[in-house]
Structures are given as structure tokens and as C-alpha cells.
Structure 1
Amino acid sequence: MDRLKRRLALLAALLAPLPALAVPGFAEVRAAYQPSEATLLARDGRPLHSLRIDMQVRRLAWTPLADISPALLRAVIAAEDKRFMEHAGVDWLAAGSAAWSNLRGQRTRGASTLTMQLAGLIDDDGQRRGQRSIFAKIGQSTVALRLERSWSKGRIVEAYLNLVPFRGELQGVAAMSRTLFGKWPHGLDDRESAIAAALLRAPNAAPEVVARRACALLGELQRGDQCRGLEAFTFQALNYQLRDLRPAAPQLAPHLARKLLAEPGRDRRSSLDADLQAFAAQSLRRHLTALSRQNAEDGAVIVVDNASGEILAWVGSSGELSGAAEVDGATALRQAGSTLKPFLYAQAFGQRQLTPASLIEDAPLSLDTGNGLYTPQNYAPGYRGWVSARQALAGSLNVPAVQTLVRLGADAFHRRLRDFGFASLQEDGDWYGYSLALGSADVSLLMLANAYRTLANAGRWTPLRAEPGKPARPPCQDGGCAGVFAGRPRTVDGPAAAFLVADILADRAARAATFGLESWLATPYWAAVKTGTSKDMRDNWCVGFSPRYTVAVWVGNASGSPMHDVSGISGAAPVWREVMDRLQRGTRVAAPQPPAGVVGAAIRFEPAVEPARREWFLQGTEQPVVRAAQQTALARIVYPADGTVIALDPDIPPARQRIPLRLSGPLPRGGHWRVDDRRLPAGSDWLPQPGRHRLSVHDARGGQIDSVGVEVRAMRGKRPAG
């Protein structure tokens, strides 16, 4: 015993001359603690989505002592430091016994107390270097003594259990408890606590070794009856990689979370409304489930506050319904379909090229593009003849839109779309050509949402925001985010043109011929809305706004595969309507008042192609009577178009190579076709001959209505076989 006292005195002498080591406070250690995850918060602070950022270690939020199971505290103290409540940081008896055993060459456990282990955990540099020398132990002992003088026992064990590694990547009591046992630390029972305490000595030991040590510990704690089936239970707990570990947060906004969360432990508050986000996601999944047999599995929803530009809902996919749930449908670039038409007509109105009452010919049309003929067709079969711009836009007629683009020019419209924030339109207007009027360009749902919001805000464009107040940085800047979150405020269209377009998009009667009086677009409150469907039904859209909110919905497939008989009115519109209804419930929504420069006037049509009505005009463009062109004006040559080159194949009988002659309207009574001033028999097609020819159509008196020039070329005959 005297020898033991001398050795303890020697250890104390070694500790005495050490320089003073800085001992952090409990608050400092807790503040430095950094979970491996970060959480996206809703605008009211509620958690929306947790995302793991640090992939090297898994730490959850700091767990207070009051939230740790008493069973775990008993097991850890019994396993690691039996005299924890009695010593002042160093267990001198255990240290002396360990030293004596080491001198006699006997292998024994170290004598590190919980406080000394905590000192080692706080000393990150020493832990990374793996120092286990006598001087490292002396340093830990010194820090432990100082910790005990400034920290309470409760704070020491709380910090220890939050910093200590348990197994593999799991660090801290919360990560261990949630991962191994699927519960929070306050719910750990005696058996689970014994397994956790056994891991502290050998975090990566085999399951049977951990179970044997846990059983021994349970015996010490007078809980030996818990050993039955312990090995199987331990094996199951330690194979946590095979289980689906769900975060505590509701996981409602994965796509925005990946864009905003960049630093582990740093939560960020978003502009999202938690309840609206959940509702929009649920509505999207419910309607997509109903469309599952039509090969529609994905979609996205964006909701924006018109005044602030803050995004209130960002649903990037349908989640488990999607084959590519990681793809963000809100930023994916897709063909816009008819959703670009409102901006075309707004430009035409603003430049006084058209008024809402202007008549546009809806008839077969062929345009020479230099690379062939472009022949647009309406979504629904058939043509309506003369229609007003109001009905053409509200009914989403394709031919009048192309006619309007021809009037404005593709380059001018392209520049206007860029002003509206469609930064994805990288080529010039000629590259897109006439199809730009029908949405052949790729845009994102975010771009569409902010462009329609610009119409709602009287033509004033400002960037969107995904965080309340002034954001530190935009959530994304490239691809479908380009031109959405950055840029100076600007006026794209005047308030008058924006008002005219919004009034048309809210006109139930004007869209009735295409969509019917009762549809998902027919809201009981004022709302302007437009649908769109891309080529082969690969995408459909529904975007619209009330005076306060803009809602944009996309439905399709992340893979780009086409849907079966799914249009904007049946795919995206039901989701748009449900979300808009929820936003407007309990509120009265009045129609916007016309701005300065817009006047109302009674009009009628001659002939009465549309009923008389009251119409809005830019001041100075109003007219009481709108007259349609004469019937012969409809009878333009549709096929062949001017400049067509026809090649004759000598291996095909001439009678099989007749060319059908087509007009955009009925041939006037007594009218006829001519080829190079040679009259063709009524009702016959043309048998072409090599050379250049002039085809013309004439009225009964011989007056020419329209003519085109074509060239016919004869191909060489095929060489005989052999």
C-alpha cells in the first residue's frame, strides 16, 4: 500500500508542472457541436426537410440530459466509470491499480474516467492523431480535473454522450438511438442501453462480442433476465444498414433543400408555407395516381406570392410515384406548348398591332421556312374561320397565334420572351422560327411562374425569392433557374397590355368554345389561367394567377416519355384548381380595375361571326364595328405553297403523281384553278410537268384571288439490276 501511495504522489508531481491548459465552457462545447444534417425550415420556423450534408459522420441534434433514458445513464456509468459520482475527474484508485498491473505485465483496462474521455473528445487534434502516450493521458487528466471544477456532473455526462462515437459513422446518443433502435434516446430500455454501453469499449466489435458484454453488464445491473434472445436482438440492431432510416423531419421539400442546404448543422429558413407545401404535394400525387394508366407519373407545382416574389410552395416531383424522383420538375427544361401565347398577344396589343376585337383568320396555313413548309394545326380538329383575338387566345387556337407571330416577327417575340425571364431561349428568333408561337422552346416551370406573375403585376418583372427577406444567395442559377432569381426589376409590358391579356385569360365565355363553360379553369373567383400541351403529349401545363398568387403546374414524365390522352385541362389543371381554391378560400377576389389608357366600348361584328359585346381597348384603338374580310379572302392557296419544288419519280405511274390543290376556304361559286393561264377542269387535281409553273385561283369573272409559283423536276430513272 505504501508503494501505491508513492506512485500516486509521483503522478501528482508529474501533473503539477504542466502549463495551464485552456478548458472550454459547456456552452462553448455545445455551440461548437455540429450535426451532420441540416434542416430546411418553413417560413414560420417549422422543419420541412432534413438533409445529410456531412457524409463522413452521422450526428443528429444535441440531446439534453433530460431527454436521455435513465437506463442508459446507469449502463454507461456502470460500464465506463463506476465511481463517476465520487471522483473529481481522475479515479486515483483505478489509475493506481491499472499502473500496478501494467508494471507487473498484466493486461488490464485503462483507468480513463468519463471526464477524461470527454477531455479527449474535446481535444479534436489529439483524437485525430490517435495519441495514446503517457503525456496525452497526463494532459487528459489535467483537463478532466479542471472540467470537474467548472462543470457539473450532469453536464459532463451530457456532453460525453453527445460527442462519443458508438459504432461506425454513428456519433452521439441521438444518432445511435435513432439508427440502431429506431427511437429517441429517452425511450431506450435496459437491454438497448446495455448494448449501447457495450459499444463504447469496442465500437466495431462483432455482434456476438457486443451481446456477450451487454449480457455481463445487465448481470451487474441486476437485469440478467434480459439476456434471453439478446444475441439475435443485437445482431438485428447492428445491421442497421439494411433498414430504411427515416429522418425526423417530414421530408416535404427535397429539391429546394438540396439547393439551399450546404453546411452541416446550419438550418435555413425558407419562404415556403409548410401547410401549403404539404397540400400541393398531396394534390399532385392524388391526381397523378388517377392518371397512372395513361402513363403520367410525375409533376411539379410552384406557388408564388405576387407582391413579394416569395415562393410559397416548391414541389419538384411526385415522390414515390416517380421513376426519377431526384429530378426537379420545377427547374427541368421542357417544351412550353401554348403557355407562351399570352406573351405573344400582349406584345401585339402593346404595339397596337392587334386589339382583343381584331379578327384573325383561323384557316389552313402553310409557310415557307426555307427548309420546307410549316403547316400549323389546331389542337382540336377543324378551323373556325374569322375569330377575334380574344377568342383565339382564350381558346388557344394555333393558327391565329402563328398569324400573329408572322405579323410581329420571330426575333421581336424572342427578345420579348427573354425580357420576361425566359433565359433558356439561347438561340435567336430565326432559329426557333414560326413554331415559337406554339411553344417549341424549352422553358422551366419556375420561368413560367415568374413570367405569369409579371402579367399579374401589370407587366413589372422582379426576381423570385426562396427565402424571406433579402436572400444571402439564390438557390440555383443555371439551367431552369437562369434568369429567375437574379436580375434588375424592369417593365416588360405596359399595364394596359398586361390587363388586356389577363382579362382574356379570365374570360370563361371566350374559352367556352374550346374548354366548355364548366371546366377546371372556371373558378368562382377572378383568376387568369392558361393551359399548354407539348408535342406528343410529353408535357402539359397549367399556369394562372389571381391578384395575389400565381400557381404553376407541370405534369408529365421525368424520362420524357409521352402520356396517353392527357392534356393540360385533364392533367395539370385539376391540381392548379385545387391549389388555387385553397389559397383563395375565405377571401373575396374581385376583378382588377382597368389601368389608365384602357377604355371600354360596345362593339359588333359584320357579319356577326361573334355576338356583340363590350370590349376593352387601348385608348385610340377602339372601333364600334369590326368587319370581317370578304369570303374570297379566305380562299388562299394552302397547297402547294409558293416556292414548292416537286420531284417526279419515273418509276411511279404519272396518274399516281397528281398534286392535290387545296384552298384555305371554299372555292367561290364559279371560281376555278389555272396552271400557266390554262384552266383546269372543276374538281380535278393537277398532273405536273417538268418546268416552272404559276398556279392561280380565280373568281367567276376571271379575277385572280391568289397565285403561287412552283417548280417541277424530273428524276432520272433507276438503273436496271445486274
Structure 2
Amino acid sequence: MTKPKKGVAASLKRRVRPRVYGVLCLGLILVLLLIVSGRMALRLSAPEEVVSYADTRAAADSSYVEVLDRQGLVLDRIRQDYTKRQGEWLSLEEVSPSFIEAILVSEDKRFYEHNGVDWWALLNATQAHVIYKIKTALGVSTANSVGRGGASGISMQLIALLDPELQTRGGRSYQQKWYQMAAALALEASWTKDEILEAYINLLPLRGEIVGVSAAAEAFYGKYAFGLNPRESALLAVMARAPNTSIAQLTKRSCDLLIKMNDSNQCNGLSYFVSYFLRRPHPEVLDREHDAPHIAQYARQWAHLHGKKSVRTTLDSDLQKQSQAFIRAHLSELSGAAVQDAAVVVLDNSSGEVLAYIGSSGAMSMASEVDHVRAPRQVASTLKPFLYAQALDERRLTAASLLNDSPINLLAGEGLYIPQNHDRSFAGWVSLRLALASSLNIPAVRTIVSLGVSSFYHKLKELHLPLERDSEFYGYSLALGAADMDLLSLTNAYRALANGGHYSALSWNQDELPAVEKVEVFSPEAAWIIGHILSDREARSYTFGLDSVLTTPFWSAVKTGTSKDMRDNWTVGWSEHYTVGVWVGNSDGSSMQNVLGVSGAGPIWHDVMRYLHRQRDSNASSKPEQIAVETVQFVGVDEAMRREYFLSGTEMKQVVALVSENYTEAIRIKIQAPVDGTILALDPDIPSHAQKLYLQANIQSTDPRAGFINWYINDIEIANGVSNLWSPNRGTHRITLKDENAKVLDEVVISVR
């Protein structure tokens, strides 16, 4: 083959070169035209209005309502949105740099370089897509030929997250890609890069219901997002592509990402790491109770009504946690006494703010969801301070007045009401001070008989205590707390005594503080005297001893109560600054075993009070001017001379018991029990010899006449003395009391069926 001549070759080059250049120029022009026209088309396709960053952040509600303490610290988080589990919005500064790096390397490594669309990534993805289509058409295996594809950078993905229609169109259609690209360009024209990245990591769906880095960090690792390390960050970042893919795939992708992040050493043991954290019960981690689960329920209701995502309570976080610790410690000590639950309320005397609200013993309870702060339970002897305060105000009694702690039978409906003291014994004549401080039952019943049940009932209503039935339903037993009330209402009623007899509403929400409206329920003088009695260690020593948990190293007034069959145990009291209420019992209402105020609720009350005053003193309030002070001598009772306090005009210097020697003749001896007209029914399941009727005269055993009175049943003498037991039989019986000369002193008729 002959070679062309040099001149011909040169001439051919000269002719071809301009054509090549021309083709290249034409191609370049076409590319430029395509780019320009493409960008113009994209801009024309862009939405007219792009949602703003501020609106996006405002609309990105957490699935949880945050319950904050008075200092703004998070006490609890309670779920409100059940379509997802999304945490609070975090700024980039609040997220670990490791996670920011991981998400950029994984999803959009040129994020800060492009203007919304990564054209190089788009070109590579298009090429891979075309090759995939060709191979598919030719029947060539494509198992390993396609990686992620799509080339959707962070801006384009954020568009899809912000536009519900894009999320429901399905597939990766060309139309969807075109719209995403157009909207991404528009988004980057109005948002900053940091705003886009911040919105993306907060709105990114991860695994299951979890949305956003905040919820993911807590759900998977139990930590805040700023504490994520490279390995933890890599696992979360690769979830962005396929959140619910297999553990094996996530492990492989996490390792690939760690290598790209120059942390290949983190691949060691990665399979175990991924498997462990993905198998954790994530919903339980996010929805677990924290420090205020019961008040969180009310916070959620309030937040829903007012469109809020956080509620600023009046609670004190440290006090809340410490009170829970006291509950756990003391219930552990009572583990053999069949008691599982407790509740604590702490109120600020001045403002009425709830400082602590613990509704149960948590994990120690069989029903931790039950809120015993609001659950109605029988309040037992805790109503006695209000009873005696009313008697003082009505000037029926004074703190030095004597009340007879002896058996009493009262007609109640179709039967008899026979109250007893908790130890089944009687103290005889005692002063009001000793009766209240030592929590004796019979004197309280005698006092309500004097006041009238209806009068006391309405006084309790003034304290906003939740009495659901009328006064006739409760009867005389109302004096001993035979009514169901809640701890919160009861503690606030005691707060009225702490505030000089003035009742006012309490508050738990700083955003909804009630108007301070004080209503006088008791006079300041009566409230002060009741406080003085309940702080008197010597007066309570008859029942509780001098050294008990009711005694504090600072001024405090306190009252205990134990309901029938030891089902409920209460201790409520106040200091200069705080009122504390404690309940101990069981959610199912079962009885405790030998748990009284000083062993159940008392120790918890004592510890909470000590904690409140660890750096703050408590002093008794100043004595009102209308209170008179006298030194009182007691005659005929075992109470020492003492200084006593009286409402002005009721003071006295000497109190004489009617059983004292100088006054015995003034007392007419009568049958105190049983009452005339009593109808008794024998129990067929109990042997007749084991069923006894208590016979009681109205004088004390110390009365000189006590040894000379005799009991007769149907004119047959059966016993001698002030009190006796008789085995009744069916029929009508005449019970007669005679003196040593067989003179009839008193007589009653009873029926036994």
C-alpha cells in the first residue's frame, strides 16, 4: 500500500481540523444550551413559594410533651403524637460533629459546594441507570451493578420530606426527580446551607417510628445527640438510605462509611455493636417514665388544650427525686409489712405552688400508674385538727377543756356507733390538747356530737375537701375521717392552718397560676392554737412517746392517721414555709401489717421535712394579739400545771374533772352502755359464750362510789363495779344499776335477737 504524499496529508489535515473544531464547538454550544435551558426549565418548574426555615422549625413538633421543673430542667417527657416518635429540634451546635460528618459523607459529600443539585453525582447516577437498563434488556446479571443511585442530595431529600405529595407518589420517577431538583434549587436560594442541613437531620426518618437525630440518639443509645461517637454516628447515618434494612446490610454500610471517615478501626466488633443496639426495646426507652409520670398526665392534657409542647411546672427537680428516694428507702424497710405504695405532696405555704408530686412508689408498686396523690382514700384521724379548730372558734371548747375518753354508744341509723381508740384502751378525762396531739378517738366523737355533724361537714366543704355524699351518710364517724379524700386536697387543707386559717387554691403550672384569693375558714387564733398543739412533743407523748419521727429539730406541726384495718396510713404537717403530706398503703386496698403513722408515712414525712430545711430554718408564727395566756392547774386528772393558750374571753386558771372528790356528788350515776332501746343480733357462727355485751356506767373507776354499784339483769344480780361483760341470750332484757342500798340508779331495756 502506497503512502500518501506529504503535501496531500498536510492538505487533508488542514481540511479536517476545522471540521473537528467545529463539531467540538457545536457540541460545547449544545451542552451549554442544554445546561442553560435545563436550569431555566428547572427554575420555571420550581414552586412559586418555598416554605421558610422558621415555619419548618415551628411546624416540626416533637412527639412528646416536655414537663419542666421550676428552673426549666426536664422532669419528664410524655408522648402526645402516636404517629411517630420525634424528639426536640436540635441546632447543629447541639449535635455531635461525628454525626454531621457521617451524614455528609454518606448522603452528600459535596453539599457545601453545589447549589442544591450535585451535577456530578447526577451524571454518575444517570450513567449507572442507563447501564443497568441496557444490561436488564440484554438479560445480563445486574446483581452487583447498581449502588444507591438516584443522586438525591440533602437538599433534594429535604424537599421530599417537606412535601407530602412527593412522599406518596412512589418510585423514583423522572417527574419526581425533576420536581425535586427544581424545588431544591429554589430552597437553596432562600435558605442557608446550615439551615438545610439542620432541618434535614431533625426531620430524617430513621428506623421504625423514630424521626430525627434527637429521638434516634436517645432510643438507640440512651444519650443526647451531642454525645454520639463515630461508630454510633455511622450507624444512624446509613439508616438514612434504608432505615429498615437488615442488620447485616447496616453493618456493612456502617463499616464502609467508617472507612471513608478514616475510622476503619471502628469496624472491629461492629456486627455485635449493630446487633445489640438495634435489638433494644426502643419504644420503651423513649416512653419510659422519668421523675414526674403522674403530673405529666395532667401536663399533656393542658398542653393539648393550649397547643404547647412543653409545660413549666412549679415542681423542684431535686426535691422530686429526693422524695422518691425516701419512698424507696422506707418501703424497703417495710418489705415484710405487706405495703407497696406511697405518695408525697409538698406545697409552698405562701404561694400554694406544688413543689413535689409523687403519685406512687414506681417499680415497687403493683399499680404504678395509679396516682395516689389524687386517688380518694379514707383519711382517718387527719380531720381532727379541723374539728377542734371549729370547736375553738365557736367557743365550745378551749385547749384546756376536758373531754371524756371513755366508752360511748351512739344511735346511728338502725344500729349503734361504738367508736374505739386504736389500742382499744381509754384514758379517762383528758384535755383537748392531749386528745388532739395524741390522736384519741372518743374525745373527737364527743366533740362532733357537740358541734353537730352537719356543721362540721360544711366546715370541711369550705376547705374544698371532696365530700361526695351528704352529712347524714357519714354521721358521727366523720370526726374519725370515715370519708374518702385525696392527698392533694387534704394537704392543701392543712396548708390553710399553716396560713392562719385562710384557704387558697394551689397551683402546679407556672403558665396558669390562679389568682390568689384567700378565704378565712378558721380564725387566726384557732389556727395558731391548733398548730401549737400539733407541735407539742409532750402532749403527743401519751401515744407516740417523746422521741418519734414526728419530732423535728425545727418548728413543725404534724398529725397522723391510720384508717380501718390499716388500709391507709397518713402523716400531714407543716413548717413555717412548707406543708408536706404523705400517704402509705396498697393500691388494691389490702391491709398492711402493724403499720401506723410513726412507722409508715411518718418516717417519709420526717425525711422530706429535714431535706426541705437542710439550709433553711423554721420558726413558729407570731402569736395573734387576741390570744390570752394563762397558767392552768388541772384537778382530778393526770396533767401537770402548764401555760395554756386561749381565745380572748375563754381563758381559765383551773380545770376540775367531774370525777374529782369535791364534785362526785354532783354526778348522777347512769348506765352509759348499752343505750336504752338497743337491739342486738347474735351471730350464729360464733359460740354464744364468746359473745359479750359491754356494760358501762358513766363514772370513772376512781370515783369513790364505783365499788358500791351493782348490775342486775331482769332483777338478777350479775356483777359489781363500773364496767362488766355479760353473755346475752335471746329475748327482752331489763338492765338495772343499783347502789349498795338496792336503790335503782338507772335502768334500760334492750332486745336480743
Same fold per TM (> 0.5)? yes
Aligned to 2:62: 35
Q: CA separation in 2, counterparts of 1:419 and 1:369? A: 25
TM-score, with structure 2 as normaliser: 0.84
Aligned to 1:505: 534
Give the Å deviation of 1:142: 2.6
CA 487–334 in structure 1, closer or farther in 2 if over 3 Å, else same: farther
Residue ranges of structure 1 left out of the alignment (5+ in a row): 472-484, 714-722
Aligned to 2:15: none
Deviation string 1:301-354 (CA, Å, 9 cap, x unpaired) is 111111111111112222222222222221111110110111111111111221
* Equivalent runs, 1:197-596 vs 2, <5 Å: 197-218=237-258, 226-241=266-281, 245=285, 251-261=290-300, 262-263=303-304, 266-423=309-466, 425-468=467-510, 470-471=512-513, 489-596=518-625
Give the Å deviation of 1:531: 0.6
Of 151, 155, 165, the residue aligned with 1:111 is 151
**In structure 2, what residue type is equivalent to 1:398?**
N
With 664-673 and 277-286 compared, the bigger mean Cα shift is at: 664-673
**In structure 1, what residue type is equivalent to 2:472?**
D
Aligned to 1:64: 91
Instruction: Assess if the C-alpha contact under 8 Å between 2:343 and 2:372 holds in 1.
Output: yes
Give the Å deviation of 1:545: 0.9
Give the Å deviation of 1:209: 2.6
Aligned to 1:668: 706
Give the Å deviation of 1:532: 0.6
Instruction: Assess if the C-alpha contact under 8 Å between 2:731 and 2:752 holds in 1.
Output: yes
Q: CA separation in 2, counterparts of 1:216 and 1:78? A: 11
Aligned to 2:112: 85
Q: CA separation in 2, counterparts of 1:65 and 1:117? A: 18
Give the Å deviation of 1:93: 4.0
Aligned to 1:146: 186
Q: Does 1:642 align with 2:680?
A: no
Q: CA separation in 2, counterparts of 1:564 and 1:654? A: 30
Q: CA separation in 1, counterparts of 2:668 and 2:343? A: 42
Aligned to 1:613: 642
Aligned to 1:600: 629
Give the Å deviation of 1:622: 2.1
Aligned to 2:39: 12
Aligned to 1:166: 206
**In structure 2, what residue type is equivalent to 1:358?**
S
Q: CA separation in 2, counterparts of 1:171 and 1:648? A: 71
Give the Å deviation of 1:4: 6.7
Q: Secondary structure at the match of 1:433?
A: helix
Deviation string 1:551-604 (CA, Å, 9 cap, x unpaired) is 111112222222111110111112212222232344443322332432122222
With 187-196 and 388-397 compared, the bigger mean Cα shift is at: 187-196
Deviation string 1:172-224 (CA, Å, 9 cap, x unpaired) is 12222332344444444444444333322212212223233334444555655
**In structure 2, what residue type is equivalent to 1:168?**
G
Q: CA separation in 1, counterparts of 2:92 and 2:446? A: 73
Of 736, 744, 751, the residue aligned with 1:696 is 736
Aligned to 1:195: 235
With 544-553 and 603-612 compared, the bigger mean Cα shift is at: 603-612
Q: CA separation in 2, counterparts of 1:647 and 1:245? A: 60
Give the Å deviation of 1:619: 2.1
With 359-368 and 653-662 compared, the bigger mean Cα shift is at: 653-662
Instruction: Assess if the C-alpha contact under 8 Å between 2:79 and 2:287 holds in 1.
Output: no
Deviation string 1:450-507 (CA, Å, 9 cap, x unpaired) is 0100111111111111133743xxxxxxxxxxxxx89964221122222221121111
With 203-212 and 99-108 compared, the bigger mean Cα shift is at: 99-108
Instruction: Assess if the C-alpha contact under 8 Å between 1:34 and 1:265 holds in 2.
Output: no
Q: CA separation in 1, counterparts of 2:257 and 2:641? A: 92
Instruction: Assess if the C-alpha contact under 8 Å between 1:402 and 1:435 holds in 2.
Output: yes
Aligned to 2:71: 44
Instruction: Assess if the C-alpha contact under 8 Å between 1:8 and 1:96 holds in 2.
Output: no
Q: Secondary structure at the match of 1:708?
A: strand
CA 634–84 in structure 1, closer or farther in 2 if over 3 Å, else same: farther
Residue ranges of structure 2 left out of the alignment (5+ in a row): 1-26, 137-145
With 12-21 and 564-573 compared, the bigger mean Cα shift is at: 12-21
Query: Aligned residues, how many?
Result: 697
Deviation string 1:393-440 (CA, Å, 9 cap, x unpaired) is 1110011111111112222211111111212x1111211122211111
Q: CA separation in 1, counterparts of 2:468 and 2:215? A: 47
CA 288–16 in structure 1, closer or farther in 2 if over 3 Å, else same: closer
Output the aligned Cα RMSD.
3.4
CA 374–21 in structure 1, closer or farther in 2 if over 3 Å, else same: same
With 581-590 and 333-342 compared, the bigger mean Cα shift is at: 581-590
Aligned to 1:122: 162
Q: CA separation in 2, counterparts of 1:656 and 1:298? A: 37
Matched-pair identity in %: 43
TM-score, with structure 1 as normaliser: 0.87
Instruction: Assess if the C-alpha contact under 8 Å between 1:4 and 1:96 holds in 2.
Output: no
* Equivalent runs, 1:704-715 vs 2, <5 Å: 704-712=744-752
Instruction: Assess if the C-alpha contact under 8 Å between 1:531 and 1:568 holds in 2.
Output: yes
Q: CA separation in 2, counterparts of 1:660 and 1:33? A: 74
**In structure 2, what residue type is equivalent to 1:512?**
S
Q: Secondary structure at the match of 2:321?
A: helix
Deviation string 1:685-712 (CA, Å, 9 cap, x unpaired) is 8787876554231333555544322235
Instruction: Assess if the C-alpha contact under 8 Å between 1:8 and 1:92 holds in 2.
Output: no
Q: CA separation in 2, counterparts of 1:628 and 1:710? A: 31
Aligned to 1:680: 717
Give the Å deviation of 1:605: 2.4
Instruction: Report the structure number with the largest CA radius of gyration.
Output: 2
Give the Å deviation of 1:240: 3.0
Q: CA separation in 1, counterparts of 2:692 and 2:439? A: 35
With 444-453 and 462-471 compared, the bigger mean Cα shift is at: 462-471
Instruction: Assess if the C-alpha contact under 8 Å between 1:36 and 1:265 holds in 2.
Output: no
Q: Does 1:54 align with 2:81?
A: yes
CA 215–556 in structure 1, closer or farther in 2 if over 3 Å, else same: same
Instruction: Assess if the C-alpha contact under 8 Å between 1:21 and 1:143 holds in 2.
Output: no
Deviation string 1:7-51 (CA, Å, 9 cap, x unpaired) is 655543432434652234434433333222222222122222222
Q: Secondary structure at the match of 1:325?
A: coil
Q: Secondary structure at the match of 1:493?
A: coil
Give the Å deviation of 1:65: 2.3
**In structure 1, what residue type is equivalent to 2:578?**
Y
**In structure 2, what residue type is equivalent to 1:213?**
R
